[in-house]
Copies of this chain bind each other. A is one copy, B any other.
Amino acid sequence: MSFEAKLKQLNIVLPAAPQPVASYIPAVRAGDLLFLSGTGPFKDGKIVFAGKLGRDLTVEQGYEAARLTVLNALAIVRKELGSLDRVLRIVRVSGHVASADGFTQQPAVINGASELLVEIFGEAGRHARLALGAAELPLNMAIELELILQIR
């Protein structure tokens, strides 16, 4: 099954690709690698999960935020490539979690991203990953994800 068909089967509708909040572009291709800009939990152009984990948001909310952020990243990919079916492999995900002092469950939060990628892309969605606790994130978003993909 194609990745676009899988998305439909999962009843997932991608949001509009978020606009960069500054002077850069959403994705750059170099060879067969596609480097995405960092993106966050946007819906209709607004951040819907703001604040820090361990203070303002529960792990469950962080998980949802990571899931939503992946949808925004995939919206960028589709806009860039025309179709998710040009994805060969999710290579690397770096996941940055706005973290209050003492919050160390970043992996459980970023799983919201990782598990959705595997749901959609299957084996091709299994990626290397980095989960980190950020002091602060742009616009007070709770999660920022950066993906590197291999594409055809």
> Chain A: residues with CB nearer than 8 A to chain B?
20-28, 30-33, 35-38, 54, 89, 91-94, 96, 99, 101-108, 110-111, 114-115, 118, 126-140, 144, 146, 148, 150
Contacts and interface: CB of A to CB of B under 8 A. Distances in A.
A37 B90 CA distance: 13
A118 B21 CA distance: 16
30 contacts: A20-B129, A21-B107, A22-B110, A22-B131, A24-B93, A24-B126, A24-B127, A24-B129, A25-B127, A28-B127, A30-B32, A30-B91, A31-B33, A31-B150, A35-B91, A35-B92, A36-B128, A37-B129, A38-B130, A94-B130, A94-B146, A96-B132, A99-B135, A101-B136, A102-B136, A104-B138, A104-B139, A104-B140, A107-B138, A131-B138
Contacts of A103: 136
Nearest to A108: B22
A31 B28 contact: no
A75 to B, nearest CB: 15
B139 A107 contact: yes
Contacts of A26: 128
The 8 closest A-B pairs by CB, nearest first: A133-B136, A24-B129, A38-B130, A135-B135, A22-B107, A99-B136, A35-B128, A23-B114
